[in-house]
A and B are shown apart, each in its own frame.
Chain A
Amino acid sequence: AQSVTQPDIHITVSEGASLELRCNYSYGATPYLFWYVQSPGQGLQLLLKYFSGDTLVQGIKGFEAEFKRSQSSFNLRKPSVHWSDAAEYFCAVVLQGGSEKLVFGKGTKLTVNP
C-alpha cells in the first residue's frame, strides 16, 4: 500500500546539535514531497518542498532536505538546532499525476534540551 513513514516518533537533541529527521515513502512513482512543522496549538507551516530538479532543497528556518530516489527517502536536516525548533514535524507526499490529496506521515516530535 502507498504510504509515508516517519520511523522516529520522538527525537531529543541538545541545542546546537545537528538534526536529521527521517521520511520514507512507498509509491510506484516519484511523488511531490513536503515537510511541514507544527508548533504546539498551531496549524501546520510549510518548511520546504521537492517537485523536481536539484535533489537538495533549502527551506525556511535553516532547514534542508535531500531526496534520494534509490532509498525512497526525503530526510530533513538542520546543522544546528535552536530551542525554538521544538515542534512536531510532518513529512507529506502527493503522487504525481494522481490525486491531489496530500498524505502525511504520523509525525516526529522534536524536543530540544538546553
Chain B
Amino acid sequence: DAGVIQSPRHEVTEMGQEVTLRCKPISGHNSLFWYRQTMMRGLELLIYFNNNVPIDDSGMPEDRFSAKMPNASFSTLKIQPSEPRDSAVYFCASNKIQGVRANEKLFFGSGTQLSVL
C-alpha cells in the first residue's frame, strides 16, 4: 500500500491567496484526520471525518479554514485567504477503526510544508 498521500509536499504562497492541501487516505480506511504542526503550538487536531462525515471541527482555527471529504479516497483542506500565521506543516492521517480506538494506530502522511509570505 502507498500509505497516506499528501500533496503538495511544499507550498509557498503570498498572503491573501487561496491554498488547497490534498490528502488521499489509505484504501479501506474510513477515519481521516487533519493536523497542524507548529513550533509554538505543537501538533493540533483541526478536524476529523468518519465515513466522509465531519465529526469534530472544533480545532479549525477560524472561518478561513474549511475541509471537505467528497468521497472515501480524497480530502481537502482549504485556507482562504491565507495569512503568514498559517505557516506550518499540515498532516493528514487515516485509520480504519472508528471511535476512540481510531487513534490506536493512525497512519500519517508525510505532511505539507506551507509557507505564507
Contact = CB atoms under 8 A, between A and B. Distances in A.
A70 to B, nearest CB: 24
B55 A43 contact: no
A63 interface: no
Contacts of A51: 104
Contacts of B105: 46, 49
Interface residues of B, number: 23
Contacts of B91: 43-44
Instruction: Name the interface size band of chain A.
Output: 20 to 34
Interface string B99-114: 1101111101111000
Contacts of B56: 99-101
B4 A43 contact: yes
A100 B42 contact: no
Interface string A43-65: 11110010100000000000000
A45 B45 contact: no
B51 to A, nearest CB: 13
Nearest to B108: A43
Contacts of B102: 100
Contacts of B110: 41-43
Interface of B: 4, 33, 42-45, 48, 55-56, 59, 91, 93, 99-100, 102-106, 108-111
18 contacts: A41-B111, A42-B110, A43-B4, A43-B110, A44-B91, A45-B108, A46-B105, A46-B106, A49-B104, A49-B105, A90-B42, A90-B43, A92-B103, A100-B56, A100-B100, A100-B103, A101-B56, A103-B45
